[in-house]
Amino acid sequence: MDSLVFKQDRPLDLIAIGRLCIDLNANETQRPMEETKTFTKYVGGSPANIAIGVSRLGMKAGFIGKVSDDQMGRFILQYLKENNIQADNIFTDKTGAVTGLAFTEIKSPTECSILMYRDNVADLKLDPREVSEEYIKQCKTLLVSGTALAKSPSREAVFLALEYARKHDVVVIFDLDYRPYTWESETDTAIYYHLAAEKCDVIIGTREEFDMIEKIRNFGDSDNLATAQRWFSYYAKLVVIKHGGGGSIAYTKDGDQFQCGIFKTNVLKTFGAGDSYASAFIYGLMNRFNVLESMRLGSAAASIVISKHSCSEAMPTLEEIQGFMDTADEVLATAN
């Protein structure tokens, strides 16, 4: 869309900021976690997955974050470097903080859950003094993830990054990524999400996530168009609302509306869909695909990832997405 201007003279396509953690995905599926004995380790965290996703699609990505000073932290750094993520602005915590862990339960293709350990985690120790204005000036797009707003000093680091991005005409994309177990109250969540979203050009989230933000104003109507119009009164130029199996719907500040369905696949798990959708959608926007084409790329990427065991490791290449779209059945959107 023409109202989103990505500065083409910058060396990095995207810098993500926020959560870096470990996913431990159950190897024994079709059973509860109580009966699960083995797990496979992957790099996780929504902004990490999205950065990996855009890198797999051939874009140049960087990251601002913090990892623990141990084997898990070094595992994350090594994996990001192997996936061509510029990691000079990922810092190592020296306070004894640990890496967040996400144990996944895969009871059925539609019944999955995540058991999170997020106490004293390194990624939430990111300090505003570790956010470089010069680094942010080098990118076309800043990706902000909502979980980084849950606690200080990470919260302040994100708001400083937003200020630098606005100052230097960096397009800001906000992936809402609401994780209730990270927050102390719904009121805190609504306040800080709202303050961050006010500064963003593109906002992507599920209907339930937007409902959470809107609790601060007690709107309570869950109306997609009304939601988009509220954010257009700030910086937002594009709002994307996801409805799971019902597809997604996007609104532009120019008055356009787009609906996208899903692609049929053999679903293994439900998690990872949002991150893969975001990475391919962002790729489309930044490579001058129109909004609907970008949504279809995102939808196809999501279907690929939910058919596989991992999230980060399953992020597809452009060739994989295009090949999948050529053969998979597309289901029309029911979101409205």
pLDDT digits (tens, 9 = 90+) for 66-79: 999 999 999 999 99
**Mean predicted confidence (pLDDT) in 180-204:** 93
Give the burial class of 19: count Cβ atoms within 10 A of its Cβ; 0-12 exposed, 13-18 middle, 19 or more buried: buried
For the chain, the structural domain boundaries read: 12-19+48-66+128-331
Residue at 40: amino acid letter: T
Q: What is the pTM of this model?
A: 0.96
Q: Reply yes or no on whether the pLDDT at 219 is more than 60.
A: no
Give the range with max mean pLDDT: 179-183, 243-247, 317-321.
Answer: 317-321
Residues 38 and 87: beta-carbon distance below 8 Å: no
**Mean predicted confidence (pLDDT) in 223-234:** 94
Number of neighbouring beta carbons within 10 Å of residue 184: 9
**Mean predicted confidence (pLDDT) in 270-299:** 97
Q: Reply yes or no on whether the pLDDT at 335 is more than 90.
A: no
Angstrom distances, CA of residue 195 to CA of 159, 174, 221, 279: 9, 12, 21, 24
Q: Reply yes or no on whether the pLDDT at 217 is more than 70.
A: no
**Mean predicted confidence (pLDDT) in 287-314:** 97
**How high is the mean pLDDT of the chain?**
95
**Mean predicted confidence (pLDDT) in 213-224:** 74
Q: Which of 20-34, 119-133, 152-166, 176-190 has the lowest mean pLDDT?
A: 176-190
Q: How many residues are recorded in the chain?
A: 336
pLDDT digits over 122-147, tens only?
Answer: 999 999 999 999 999 999 999 999 99
Would you call 118 helix, strand, or coil by DSSP?
Answer: coil
pLDDT reported for residue 119: 94
Architecture of domain 12-19+48-66+128-331: 3-Layer(aba) Sandwich (3.40)
- Which residues, 6 or more positions from 233, have their beta carbon under 8 angstroms from its beta carbon? none
**Mean predicted confidence (pLDDT) in 232-244:** 96
Q: Which of 188, 174, 180, 130 is nearest to 156 (CA)?
A: 130
pLDDT reported for residue 220: 57
332: left (phi over 0), alpha (psi -120 to 50) or beta: beta
Q: What does 149-192 look like in DSSP terms, one character per residue?
A: GSSTTHHHHHHHHHHHHHHTT-EEEEE----GGG-S-HHHHHHH
Calculate what percentage of the chain has a pLDDT beyond 70. 98
Cα 336 from chain centroid?
23
Angle at which helices 154-167 and 186-197 pack, to 10 degrees?
20
